[in-house]
A and B are shown apart, each in its own frame.
Chain A
């Protein structure tokens, strides 16, 4: 697990905030409001976008053409956020998203990146040994599937549109969205139908 910040760093942060506050550049209210806004973004938004794409071809086309416009359509503010590209998995082609340089992540629709996404191991290995990384998540792709690894950058963020699992015919958007995990949206996992729910 990532180590907690040192006391020295906590003090350094408070000195900086105090200096900015003294100059009227930042207030505690602004900090609290921004943190609350950031906390509200979660993978449930991305999952909803995917479930809708599985049900509605027009929405799917919009999502693939302009992910940020689709997110705005869901009520997500993309002001100041970089463009959002959506990578369509299909039979024989799987996508995996990484940010090798740091931690670029579609935060507006997935929330904070998890610790492992920012780890040195994921950043270095996702491009060199993507199938090995997938195996650590217990993800095995059908034989012959090509893996395309996409590097998220400061200027362009990516999320995956996974394939709709079999056995979900007739499911509602809510039911489908519940299958789409954050890991499936990054590409390290595939949406799974719980054994109980499968016909």
Chain B
């Protein structure tokens, strides 16, 4: 079974046939310490006007497909947040070395 039209971008998952036959894994676990810390960091940076949700999404949606699938949820967030902070010059590559 193939999709009637090419999938525009990997995050646009509605109706994707790739997962058509996979049950939803009932993962009920709350975020781990890493996830909660990334989550809190994002909210603080947003509160301080250093990034927006839309920017977070752009950063996530720009992750190439193999990496998108390899990273965990909050690892994708961290990738996006780090990219945004570098892009805006809030931190430099040297700061993160």
Residues in A lying within 8 Å of B, measured CB to CB: 1-6, 9-10, 12-13, 15-17, 19-20, 22-23, 25-26, 30-32, 34-35, 38-39, 80, 98, 100-103, 112, 114-116, 118-129, 133, 136, 151, 154
Contacts and interface: CB of A to CB of B under 8 A. Distances in A.
Given A9-B78, A16-B96, A31-B44, A39 B22 contact: no
B41 interface: yes
Contacts, number: 159
Interface in B2-27: 11-20, 22-27
Given A5-B35, A13-B41, A34-B43, 10 more contacts: A9-B78, A15-B96, A16-B91, A23-B91, A114-B30, A124-B15, A128-B20, A136-B23, A136-B24, A136-B26
Given A2-B72, A128-B20, A16 B81 contact: yes
What size tier do the contact residues of chain B reach? 35 or more
A19 B57 CA distance: 22
Contacts of B28: 114-116
Instruction: Give chain B's interface secondary structure class.
Output: helix
A123 B14 contact: yes
Interface SS of chain A: helix
B26 A151 contact: no
Contacts of B24: 116, 119, 121-122, 125, 133, 136
A124 B36 contact: no
Contacts of A126: 14
Nearest to B53: A154
Contacts of B23: 121, 136
Given A19-B91, A80-B46, A35 B40 contact: yes
